[in-house]
Amino acid sequence: MLKKIHLLIFISLCGFKAFAQQSDSIIVTKTKWQKTKIARQIALYQHHFKQNNLFGANQNISFLEVKNTGKKVFFALAAEEKVLVTTSNFGKRDTALAAVNGNFFDVKNGGSVDFVKVNGKIVNTNQFDKNGVRARHQQAAIVIKNGKIEIAKWDGTSDWENRISAADVLLNGPLLTINNTDQYLDTTAFNRLRHPRTCLGIKKNGKIILLTVDGRNDLSAGMSLFELTRFMHWLGCESAINFDGGGSTTLWINGFPDNGIVNYPTDNKKWDHEGERKVANVILIKKR
């Protein structure tokens, strides 16, 4: 009898979870996003999900949708080998239209802990653990060719990133989904718990989404990587990759108020636009 009760509880929980996910997907697809045109081929979408109605929490989400042609506007990387710079200062320095923070970095010594190549020059190499094991955020890459951006998956070889022929390569991750195939995510705290997140997605029509989810605040909880994967699918992405998040999560747009910071970075533990963290590299959108 007890086994039957446990089975019924398990079935009920599974049913409730499936219903909640379906309800969340409907909420997202019916959302009236605030749309702002940034430039030809670039638009900003923003929405604050309130009343705990997305994944049972408040969520503040901002994303850029960009035509991935490499013509009117194009993607680029900016990086520093040993120092850290705010996303906004990277963007201003490189006269960009917009920027988001990039991959994982060495807080103490500066520079990325993952492979980065900019304009054909290797800026940083991978820092493996003591056993020489490649981290999850070193098993995929952002690759830029002729101003167009794509996602590449590690092929299992030790010199994979060095053989990518593109001039601009930034290892990042974990990879969430590629060609509509969700990738394995373990249940470590980084994946399972909610944090501010930065993510890049590629839609079926080829458009690129650069997204930030704010977190660590009652006004926006942040997402687990499992939630982020589902959310990117609901936005129409067939491929998506996680970036460094937490206090690094920053979306900057040239000429916008608040020093161009669109989201609510958390380094100052306040709900404002001033808590920007210094990072090792960024993804830029620039104008031809």
pLDDT, tens only, 20-29: 566 899 999 8
pTM value is 0.92
Angle at 93 between CA 91 and CA 98, to 5 degrees: 15
Is the predicted pLDDT of residue 272 greater than 80, yes or no?
yes
Query: Residue 20 has what pLDDT?
Result: 54
The confidence score (pLDDT) of residue 9 equals 40
Predicted confidence (pLDDT) per residue in 166-220, tens digit: 999 999 999 999 999 999 999 999 999 999 999 999 999 999 999 999 999 999 9
22 contacts: CB under 8 Å, gap ≥ 6? none
182-196 per-residue burial string, b: 16 or more CB within 10 A, e: under 16: ebebeeeebbeebbb
Mean pLDDT of 138-143: 98
Rounded Cα–Cα distance for residues 75 and 38 (Å):
15
pLDDT mean over 144-159: 97
pLDDT in tens, 84-116: 999 999 999 999 999 999 999 999 999 999 999
Question: pLDDT tens across 39-58, in order?
Answer: 999 999 999 999 999 999 99
pLDDT more than 70, % of the chain: 92
Average pLDDT over residues 55-73: 97
State yes or no: pLDDT of 14 exceeds 50. no
C-alpha Rg value of the chain to the nearest Å: 19
The H or E element that residue 86 is part of is strand 85-86
Residue reference for tokens 């503040």: 60
Q: Would the pLDDT of 154 be above 60?
A: yes
Q: Report pLDDT for 146.
A: 96
Looking at every residue in the chain, the average pLDDT score rounds to 93
Long-range contacts of 35-42 (CB under 8 A, 24+ apart): 38/64, 38/97, 38/98, 38/253, 39/72, 39/73, 39/97, 39/287, 40/72, 40/73, 41/66, 41/67, 41/69, 41/72, 41/73, 42/66, 42/67, 42/73, 42/97, 42/98, 42/285
**Residue 241: is its pLDDT beyond 70?**
yes
235: phi then psi, degrees, rounded to nearest 5: -85, 0
Quickly state the pLDDT bin for 1 (edges 50, 70, 90). Answer: low
Residues, the chain: 288
